[in-house]
């Protein structure tokens, strides 16, 4: 039996573990049918032309953890931004870990999708938001069908959340063939403000596969800053589907730092639903060995007077591959749109590959859209300049890379997070630079 058939037939067993009378279950049933029809994406599809899932879609993958594993905080502390006060929502093999978490219901909800799906007081929120902007492709449908657990964040109108919220998904590998499918929902009320840091972390050398879906809703004048740290182990693969809906005057930014992992595909899609709002998409990607990182972004400008800013920096070494597929759609109504897209890439070796494809579809006539894509090598003259000041080649190379990525790093608004990412990058590059950016 292939993986698709196996997953479809697992759905019946899955139904025994959830409340089938909840309205969401209808959504799940629809979704499994959809997945059955669509299946997994293949390279024949235009949007998956450069990314093949073949190597990670193993038939032995299972959606049910065989046993629960618990972790000690001291063993996983390094994966938290522990230098700051924060809320924490932590999962181990897809199961909520209460002792690692710090949730809240005081003036806001920082809790679990399972709670949101079971408690009557959240029913209206779920009806209004759950699966309302997630695109109904094969992978997202698969996630929706098995959606049960993940982070649920509800920030009421006017609440400025003082502490960032960290979402951590650990995979332990006790279950080596587990497919985890977290489902996160973030609802940010009018004038509310929240910062979220999300990380998927495998703790095993066994292959792991995560197919995550996050829906984010920013209401009028809401502000959301979302940071994704992708620094997973060599055998960990991640499909990260993030769908964002924005209302008038809201500001949403998503930063994605892709340093580790075997195969990472980011489907990041913004849907603009009001005027005078802006969407920011930034990323730093540094890969080596046989890593593959794919950023497929979409900004859908559907209303007038909105902005979008995309800035992705990629550095590829060894036999690694990068993909940047940036789609901007400007609808006929979306006059005075200001859309900016930049993708700069450095190939360190002849064997590394980048596929970059800006895709602008503009139906309005009074817009400003600019896009720039560069692919190059490190500047030898710059390298010589730094070396002639006593900086060894490896450190000089790293310094140039930091300089290259700096535009994105400096827009991280949480200083401790910026520091951590700087350290992760330095460690990826094998250097110890004596300064903080």
Partner 1 sequence: MAGNTETDMLKIKNLHASVEGKEILKGINLEVNPGEVHAIMGPNGSGKSTLASVIAGNEDFEVTDGTIELEGEELNELAPEERAHQGVFLSFQYPVEIPGVTVTNFMKTAINETRKARGLEEMPANEMLKKIREKSELLEIDRKFLSRSLNEGFSGGEKKRNEIFQMAMMEPKLAILDETDSGLDIDALKVVANGVNRLKTPQNATIVITHYQRLLDYIVPDHVHVLLNGKIVKSGGKELALELEEKGYDWIKQEAAV
Q: 323-382: which residues touch partner 1 (CB under 8 A)?
A: 379, 381-382
Binding mask 406-425 for partner 1 (x = CB under 8 A): xx------------------
Contact 121, 127 (CB under 8 A): no
Among 16, 67, 78, 390, binds partner 1 (CB under 8 A): 390
**Residue 227 found at the interface with partner 1 (CB under 8 A):** no
Minimum CB distance to partner 1 smaller for 213 or for 399 = 399
List the structure tokens of 193.
């403000």
Taking the complex as a whole, how short is the minimal distance between the CB of residue 204 and partner 1, in angstroms?
36
Q: Which region among 113-121, 356-364, 403-411, 421-429 touches partner 1 (by CB under 8 A)?
A: 403-411
Q: How far apart are CA 161 and CA 168, in angstroms?
A: 19
Minimum CB distance to partner 1 smaller for 268 or for 405 = 405
**Residue 391 found at the interface with partner 1 (CB under 8 A):** yes
**Residue 284 found at the interface with partner 1 (CB under 8 A):** no
Minimum CB distance to partner 1 smaller for 348 or for 398 = 398
List the structure tokens of 434.
């004596």
Minimum CB distance to partner 1 smaller for 162 or for 435 = 435
Q: Which region among 172-180, 184-192, 219-227, 390-398 touches partner 1 (by CB under 8 A)?
A: 390-398
Minimum CB distance to partner 1 smaller for 108 or for 405 = 405
Q: How far apart are CA 180 and CA 323, in angstroms?
A: 24
Among 13, 20, 160, 384, binds partner 1 (CB under 8 A): 384
Minimal CA–CA distance to 434: which of 405, 410, 402, 409?
Answer: 402
Query: Phi then psi for 335, rounded to 5 degrees?
Result: -70, 160
Among 23, 158, 403, 415, binds partner 1 (CB under 8 A): 403
Q: How far apart are CA 214 and CA 122, in angstroms?
A: 18
Among 43, 119, 393, 413, binds partner 1 (CB under 8 A): 393
Helix-strand-coil split of the chain, %, nearest 5: 25, 40, 40
Q: How far apart are CA 167 and CA 157, in angstroms?
A: 22
Taking the complex as a whole, how short is the minimal distance between the CB of residue 180 and partner 1, in angstroms?
36
**Residue 437 found at the interface with partner 1 (CB under 8 A):** yes
Among 312, 402, 412, 428, binds partner 1 (CB under 8 A): 402
Q: Please enumerate, as own/partner, the contacts of 14-19 that have beta carbons within 8 Å and a separation of 24 or more.
A: 14/63, 14/64, 14/145, 14/146, 14/148, 17/148, 18/117, 18/148, 19/117, 19/118
What's the gap between Cα 206 and its chain centre?
22
Residue 106 CB contacts under 8 Å (≥ 6 apart), including other chains? none
Taking the complex as a whole, how short is the minimal distance between the CB of residue 405 and partner 1, in angstroms?
7
**Residue 396 found at the interface with partner 1 (CB under 8 A):** yes
Among 385, 413, 415, 423, binds partner 1 (CB under 8 A): 385
Q: How far apart are CA 372 and CA 330, in angstroms?
A: 17
Quote the strand ranges of 83-207, DSSP E. Answer: 87-92, 95-96, 109-112, 151-155, 165-171, 179-180, 183-188, 193-202
Minimum CB distance to partner 1 smaller for 106 or for 381 = 381
Among 392, 413, 427, 430, binds partner 1 (CB under 8 A): 392
Chain residues binding partner 1 by CB under 8 A are 379, 381-382, 384-393, 395-396, 399-400, 402-407, 433-435, 437
């Amino acid at each position: 039996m292939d993986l698709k058939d196996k997953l479809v037939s697992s759905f019946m067993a899955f139904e025994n573990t959830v409340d089938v009378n909840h309205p969401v279950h209808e959504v799940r049933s629809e979704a499994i049918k959809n997945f059955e029809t669509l299946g997994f994406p293949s390279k024949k599809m235009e949007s998956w032309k450069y990314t093949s899932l073949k190597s990670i879609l193993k038939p032995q993958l299972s959606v049910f953890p065989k046993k629960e594993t618990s972790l000690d905080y001291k063993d996983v502390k390094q994966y938290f931004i522990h230098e700051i006060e924060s809320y924490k929502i932590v999962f181990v093999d897809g199961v909520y870990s209460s002792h690692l978490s710090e949730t809240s219901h005081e003036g806001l909800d920082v809790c679990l999708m399972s709670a949101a799906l079971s408690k009557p007081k959240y029913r209206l929120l779920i009806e209004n938001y759950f699966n309302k902007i997630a695109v109904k492709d094969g992978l997202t449908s698969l996630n929706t069908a098995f959606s049960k657990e993940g982070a649920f964040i509800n920030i009421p109108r006017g609440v400025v959340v003082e502490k960032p919220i960290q979402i951590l998904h650990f995979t332990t590998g006790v279950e080596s063939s587990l497919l985890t499918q977290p489902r996160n929902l973030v609802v940010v009320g009018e004038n509310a403000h929240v910062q979220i840091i999300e990380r998927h972390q495998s703790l095993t050398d066994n292959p792991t596969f995560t197919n995550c879906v996050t829906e984010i809703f920013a209401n009028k004048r809401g502000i959301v800053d979302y940071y994704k740290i992708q620094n997973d182990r060599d055998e960990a693969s991640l499909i990260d589907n993030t769908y964002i809906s924005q209302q008038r005057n809201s500001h949403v930014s998503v930063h994605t730092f892709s340093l580790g992992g075997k195969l990472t595909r980011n489907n990041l899609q913004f849907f603009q639903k009001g005027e005078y709002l802006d969407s920011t998409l930034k990323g730093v990607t540094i890969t080596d060995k046989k890593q593959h990182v794919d950023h497929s972004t979409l900004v859908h400008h559907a209303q007038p007077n909105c902005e979008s800013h995309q800035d992705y920096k990629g550095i590829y070494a060894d036999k690694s591959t990068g993909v940047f597929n940036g789609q901007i759609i400007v609808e006929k109504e979306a006059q005075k749109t200001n859309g900016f897209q930049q993708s700069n890439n450095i190939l360190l070796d002849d064997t590394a590959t980048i596929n970059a494809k800006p895709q602008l579809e503009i139906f309005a006539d009074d817009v400003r859209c600019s896009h720039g894509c560069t692919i190059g090598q490190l500047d030898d003259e710059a390298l010589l300049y730094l070396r002639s000041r006593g900086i060894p080649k490896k450190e000089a190379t790293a310094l140039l890379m930091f300089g290259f990525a700096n535009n994105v790093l400096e827009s991280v608004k949480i200083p401790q997070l910026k520091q951590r990412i700087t350290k992760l990058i330095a460690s990826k590059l094998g250097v110890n630079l004596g300064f903080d950016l």
